[in-house]
Amino acid sequence: MSYPRLHFHGAAHGVTGSCFELELPATRIIVDCGMFQGSKSERALNYEPFPFAPSSIDAVVLTHAHIDHSGLLPKLVKQGFHGHIFATLATVDLCSVMLPDSAHIQETEVEQLNRRNVRRGKPTVLPIYTQEDAAACMPLFWPHEYLHWFTVVDGVRARFWNAGHLLGSASVELEITTDNGQAMRLLFSGDIGPDHKLLQFKPEGPTALDYVICESTYGDRDRGDTSADQRRARLRDEVLAATTAGGPLVIPSFAVERTQELLVDLFLLMKAGDIATLPVFVDSPLATRASEIFERHAGEIENRAGLRSALAASNLRFTETVEQSKAINKMKGNFIIIAASGMCDAGRIRHHLKSHLWRREATLLLVGFQAQGSLGRILLDGAARVRIQGEEIEVKAKIRQLDLYSGHADAPELLRWVHERIPIKHGIFLTHGEDSGLEALKRELKALFPKTSIVAPLLDEAYELTEDGAHRVDPGRQPRLHPGSVAHLDWHNDLSRLLLDISRKVSEGADERGRTAIIRRLRRAMEAAAGGEK
């Protein structure tokens, strides 16, 4: 008898690049096809060939629209995939704006990079995909409602369960008819939302499963039982502190849902008089279009009245053009900027950081998970200087974090969600988490399920799903990235830090002679290192 094989092509000991390939005797499907974020080594995977032939994939089932789950779909289609992409209707609508936006960001940033490369005598590069590629992807989407079974391919059916993470987000239940005519049931959690998500209902899911593939982003964190009032009180304190400092409050935020949640709470605080009525700029064309989609799906949203009121506020400004975006940074005094991306690695947030990080009166408020190697994580870890688009910036702004707006369940909520899925017959796979989250959640689950196999697979590992548990098998190729490089600082981060340190040391030299001596010693060290490598 041949058993299904499950390959982990992303979100394995990291929190991005979600992609799980299910290999069956006569067909292959993937759950999610996300973009890698974080260090340059991880982002480079977006440019490499897929670890499978796109033309060999018969269908895609998509958990939700976030780019780390959907962002490589246009590349998949461009390279030969022609099957259906199954998702909820809200996910399809969000992808219709998020994928073209992702392509636009790539095209813009590649254009800027190529201008620098030409000046430096380096070869030019191409974007991963274009807006035309993103548009070509959309006709392949097939929407389905929650809780309704549908056929993915012959022998595999699926249904969506509300994951409570994002508008349209779903956990994916797959039922596979095996060679002996038995049904094997798998559940892919997708991203599980917390209990007190402002715009989403609590996550749901089925019971009595063979295998569960569960995210673990906050597997090592207990945020406590925080009410909506307590969350707003924490935000109030951050805004008041930023106002007292006398400068802008800059909030990197995912354009879809987190931005809308922040707007609701900010305008409730302003309406109550808890904070001043400040100008609020949402500097993201994507956020503008996403807000329209939220309005279209108002029936699926909790607190939709609050969202509508916030979006209609007179002091809210949505910016469209680059010129409008840059004009914001000419303002003085107190105002709020919300701009993508949430981890500070792409989009318009970077020119706001270049404009404000060096100002003591400015405040940067991080409101979501910051992956290792991302600029947001580097700032959160206390960097005194950073490099943004090749430019060195001294960090004098106040760096703050408020993780109560995360779309991910914390450890107690994840444990409760898994426990509600019992019985789980054969095993649990932990994905979408960095090492600390994975290991902490694994320990807790082991205490709850001492007889259940609990595995945290590495990138590109494969497991055979049998009736007596999961067994690791040879995936037939080397992993694309060494396990120690996933969700860790890489040589690009080390080089950036070294260049910053060299610049600082040389500038601190006592005089011309001292600075020349430092440079001479550095050259001798490099020449000695180069000689040792021969």
Q: What is the pLDDT of residue 455?
A: 97
Q: What is the pLDDT of residue 348?
A: 87
**Cα–Cα distance for residue pair 295/307, rounded to 1 Å:** 9
Amino acid at 210: D
Full-model pTM: 0.86
Q: Tell me which residue of 371, 320, 409, 341 sits closest to 487, measured CA to CA.
A: 371
Cis? peptide before 25, omega within 30° of 0: no
pLDDT (tens digit per residue) in 123-172: 998 999 999 999 999 999 999 999 999 999 999 999 999 999 999 999 99
Q: Tell me which residue of 396, 394, 395 sits closest to 503, measured CA to CA.
A: 394
Q: What is the pLDDT of residue 195?
A: 84
**Cα–Cα distance for residue pair 83/72, rounded to 1 Å:** 15
Q: What is the pLDDT of residue 494?
A: 65
Domain 228-405 has CATH 3.40.50.10890: yes
Task: Map out the domains of the chain as residue ranges.
Answer: 5-221+410-485, 228-405, 491-532
Q: What is the pLDDT of residue 531?
A: 66
CB of 35 closer than 8 Å to CB of 46: yes
Q: Tell me which residue of 432, 479, 433, 472 sits closest to 453, measured CA to CA.
A: 472
Which portions of the chain are predicted below pLDDT 50?
A: none
What's the CATH number for 5-221+410-485?
A: 3.60.15.10
Q: Do domains 5-221+410-485 and 228-405 have the same CATH topology?
A: no
CB of 287 closer than 8 Å to CB of 340: yes
**What is the per-residue DSSP string for 200-240?**
SPPP----SEEEEEEE-TBTT-------HHHHHHHHHHHHH
Q: What is the pLDDT of residue 145?
A: 97
CB of 220 closer than 8 Å to CB of 440: yes
Q: What is the pLDDT of residue 489?
A: 58
What kind and span of H or E run contains 124?
A: none
Q: What is the pLDDT of residue 15?
A: 92
> Residues 6 or more apart from 272 whose CB is under 8 A from it?
none
